Amino acid sequence: MDLDNVHWLGHSTVHIVTDISIYFDPYHLPHGAIPADLILITHEHYDHCSMDDIVKIKTEKTVLVVPRKNANQFSGQVIGVAPGDQITAAGIPIQVIPAYNINKPYHPKDRQYVGYIIEVEGVRCYHAGDTDHIPEMQDVKTDIAFLPVSGTYTMNAQEAAEAAEIIRPKLAVPIHWGSVAGYRTDAEQFIRLSRTRSLILEQETEPFSGE
Ligand SMILES: [Zn+2]
């Protein structure tokens, strides 16, 4: 897989499409969005765990990977996870990374919110969830890193650039900007400050599967 397989759909929504369709934190999806084989939810906040959007892409075959505390809110094939877990879901190896704030109250560590590293066709992709720059990022090994940059609820652009320098991905992509929190200027500042290769993915309106 390469960057053509990676789509940013706004806010923290990342859609990876190869032979398999994988969504992180689907939110404000268009009607008729491509169905999901695998959905990964980082935490329970409305802009990351949107039931309205999950139903748009969930089929009988869809596997949902969600924080363990929320697992009973979902039906179908659901796997509850906590930081530190390593699982395989829909054939995809998944490592569960903690996600939490260190200098703000919105995502306390004890809630066990998460980020994920998944491996798709040999390419490792890290979706950090809503987090500050945390020590556990030192152990993250990934090719692509999707990092929140808006500040307020997560790392700001400068903190995210510092995190990217620790993680050292082949490519860092700013997320969590442009709607609920953060502006394009935050993404641009992240690009400017990053010493790792970084890129703004333009927000896509997906090719529709139907109508
Ligand atoms: Zn949140």
Q: Residue 76: give its domain's CATH number.
A: 3.60.15.10
150 within domain boundaries? yes
Confidence of residue 210 (pLDDT cuts 50, 70, 90): very low
Domain membership of residue 67 (yes or no) is: yes
Question: Tell me, what's the pLDDT at 45?
Answer: 95
Give the C-alpha distances (Å, rounded to integers) separating 179 from 6, 16, 126.
Answer: 20, 21, 21
CA of 206 to the centre of ligand 1 (A): 24
Distance (angstroms) between ligand 1 centre and the Cα of 2 equals: 28
pLDDT at 105 over 90: yes
| Tokens, residue 28 | 């404000």
Q: What is the pTM of this model?
A: 0.94
CA of 132 to the centre of ligand 1 (A): 11
Residues 168-193 have a mean pLDDT of 93
**Does 204 fall in a domain?**
no
Q: Is residue 200 part of a domain?
A: no
Domain for residue 153, yes or no? yes
How many independent structural domains does the chain possess? 1
Give me the domain span that covers residue 14.
Answer: 3-193
Average pLDDT over residues 95-103: 97
CA 153 / ligand 1 centre spacing (Å)? 7
Residue 211's pLDDT is: 39
Mean pLDDT of 185-200: 94
Residue 209 in this model has a pLDDT that exceeds 80: no
User: How far apart are alpha carbons 69 and 55 in whole angstroms?
Assistant: 20
Q: For residue 198, how far is its CA from the centre of ligand 1 (angstroms)?
A: 23
Question: For residue 163, what are the contacts with CB-CB under 8 A and spacing of at least 6?
Answer: 128, 133, 137, 147, 155
In a domain, 203, yes or no: no
Tell me: pLDDT of 207 over 70: no
116 falls within a domain: yes
| 106 CA distance to ligand 1 middle (Å) | 7
- pLDDT tens-digit map of 43-91: 999 999 999 999 999 999 999 999 999 999 999 999 999 999 999 999 9
Ligand 1 centre distance from Cα of residue 169 (Å): 23
How far is ligand 1, taken at its centre, from the CA of residue 108, in Å?
10
Mean pLDDT across the chain: 93
Examine residue 211 and state whether it is found in any structural domain, yes or no: no
